[in-house]
Amino acid sequence: MGNISRHTGINIGGLNPVSWIYREDVAIFSGSDSSLYCLIVPKPGKSWNSLYGTPETIQLESEQQDTPGGMKYLYKLKILVPKDRIAVEAELFRMTGRRLILKVGDKNGTIRILGTMDIPMKLTSKLLKPAAMETFNGYELLFSGEFSRPAGFLQPPTGITIEDENQD
């Protein structure tokens, strides 16, 4: 058995950047049952799409639930995208109802993959235009998904590496 050791390095909060890709634009999605690493390669001519969120509004929640069918892992990623504008509305219209895979990085350099080829993430959004001029005007995006295993960690292009415990 392994140990969960004390973290001795820097642990900065916050998520940024966030990218997404349509499931059908993925050529290779490889994960291992023996590790949490996964490898994703887009199809030729396809790439990850960036998603800007207002700084310090990108929030990831993960919950583990024991169910009669086995353990399930719930993920919710909430992002605020500023300003009501046609370019954002058009992109959200294209994304809604589509099968999405997300790549979420944090300030520590950890990159997680949310969604799989079999169970992609789902997007819902709403436009927020409050009456007060000083408050946020824009879109609240919510990506959600339920999985049978935890979200994977992006495998470096050089292959799986064993990390130093001080970098956790």
Give the pLDDT confidence of 111-121 residue by residue, as tens digits: 999 999 999 99
Question: pTM for the complete prediction?
Answer: 0.83
CA 92 to chain centre: 16
Question: What does the block give as tokens for 159?
Answer: 């292959």
The total of other beta-carbon atoms located within 10 Å of residue 82's CB is 14
> Per-residue pLDDT averaged across 115-142, rounded?
88
Give yes or no for a cis peptide into 150 (omega within 30° of 0): no
Q: Calculate the average pLDDT of the chain.
A: 85
Task: Count how many Cα atoms sit within 13 Å of the Cα of residue 90 in the half-sphere of its side chain.
Answer: 3
The total of other beta-carbon atoms located within 10 Å of residue 147's CB is 19
For residue 63, give Cα distances in angstroms to 17, 90, 108, 140. Answer: 22, 31, 21, 21
Burial status of residue 144 (CB atoms within 10 A of its CB: 0-12, 13-18, 19 or more): middle
Q: In the chain, pLDDT over 90 holds for what percent of residues?
A: 57
> Per-residue pLDDT averaged across 3-22, rounded?
69
For residue 73, give Cα distances in angstroms to 31, 64, 84, 111, 151. Answer: 16, 5, 33, 17, 8
Could you tell me if 100 and 143 are in contact, meaning their C-beta atoms sit under 8 angstroms apart?
yes
